[in-house]
Amino acid sequence: MTAKLFKFEDLECADLVIDAIYEGGNSGNAGDDPISKLMGCGNQGGFRQKGTLGDLKYCVLYSEMSNNEWPDELNSERGQFIYFGDNKKAGHELHDTSKKGNLILKNSFDNLHSLQRDKVPPFFIFTKVGGAGRSVVFRGLAVPGAANISQTDDLVAIWKSVDGNRFQNYRAIFTILNESVIKRSWISELQSGSATRNAPDSYLKWLKTSKYLPLLAPPAVSYRTPEQQLPQTSQEKKYIELIKDYFSKHKDGEYAFEKCASTIAQMMDKNIISCDNTRPWRDGGRDAIGVYRIGLGQAYTDVEFALEAKCYKLTSSCGVKETSRLISRLRHRQFGIFITTSYVALQAYKEIIEDGHPLLIISAIDISQLLISKGIADVSMLDQWLSQF
């Protein structure tokens, strides 16, 4: 289905429609920015607020979704948006930024945590349309925090180091509210200082009760095509090629990659509390055995899992033979993790889903995106990370 398109000349009167495209101008200057015309705010940067810092009417968050060092993320299944602040270079204190974006985040989350939600501005999320031009996509109305995220985790100051210089930036979690259309009448009210008369129902619910009503969009199918399992960017492809090349030359070969795969699994989910590699000559069809912990504190239960790893080149698929080997060795109340630097063939993937096998597939795109999200932002950092195996 083709996304709804709003022409540049119509933006001042347009509603905000989920996943609609808002066209940029063609004059060749900053006036082509569609967000400023659509929302009456600034035309540059990630933070574009309406109003003053002490009296924000609303705030637009814009992301090009292409910064690998600070990987903003839209999670449609959970209805969440992860956004990194604007202190992205060394030499400044966390809140000392020209757009005051990190200060906006701090104040908003402080007010959220102190139950002063009426002092939290609504946030409007936009991302860049792929390719050239200034057109953007509206991703939703958002509020800080999420129902399943604690106050210690929804806004976190993380450290980075560039050329030996250390600095901090925020990682913020927002909930995209369950609203398909934001009416122009409410935006006009926000601009004039009246925020509730035409406000969306899910926003009013959050404002009055703190209850989040996220926009959840689970995938139509639960299996992925080969194309969806493979790298989407040149950097992601380069990472997988370097990993394959590293282990093809390693003295321990596949066994070394199996250790790497165990580390990847533990990086993926903090609830994996152990993942121990089996001996290469007697692995019983499993490259590693691990424990996944469900629960909190002393109230928990442990579930065992088995892991299988395949270090294949990007053009070589993993078929029924490879996946069945792991499935056949899963014991009662165990699940499996299948990790590959390539992809699982469509027939094998469909059979896993349709037969209800408790098997998690981690393919090439998952590996590369996981490493990037964990701060391994360039080839030299990847080389350093690989050297541990």
Spatial distance between the Cα atoms of 126 and 24, rounded to a whole number of angstroms: 13
Q: pLDDT tens-digit profile of 47-64? A: 999 999 888 999 999 999
Class of residue 338 by CB neighbours under 10 A (exposed 0-12, middle 13-18, buried 19+): buried
Alpha-carbon gap, residue 172 to 155, rounded angstroms: 5
pTM (global) more than 0.75: yes
Q: Is 293 left (phi over 0), alpha (psi -120 to 50) or beta?
A: beta
Look at residue 284 in the predicted model and tell me its pLDDT: 52
Classify each residue of 240-277 as buried b or exposed e, where b means 16 or more C-beta atoms within 10 Å of its C-beta.
bbebbebbeebeeeebbbbbbbbebbeebeeebeebeb
pLDDT cut 90: percent of the chain above it: 78
The rounded distance, in Å, linking the Cα atoms of 101 and 117 is 18
pLDDT tens-digit map of 318-367: 999 999 999 998 988 899 999 999 999 999 999 999 999 999 999 999 99
226-386: CATH number: 3.40.1350.10
Q: What is the mean pLDDT of residues 110-126?
A: 97
pLDDT tens digit sequence for 239-288? 999 999 999 999 998 899 999 999 999 999 999 999 998 765 454 557 89
Tell me what the mean pLDDT of segment 36-57 comes to. 93
Q: List the domain boundaries for the chain.
A: 5-209, 226-386
CATH classification code of 5-209? 2.30.280.20
Would you give the DSSP letter of residue 381? Answer: H
Cα gap 82→145, rounded to integer Å: 10
* Confidence at residue 281, expressed as pLDDT on a 0 to 100 scale: 47
Q: CA-to-CA distance for 72 and 65, rounded, in angstroms?
A: 6
The Cα–Cα gap between 13 and 258 comes to 57
For all residues of the chain together, what is the average pLDDT? 92
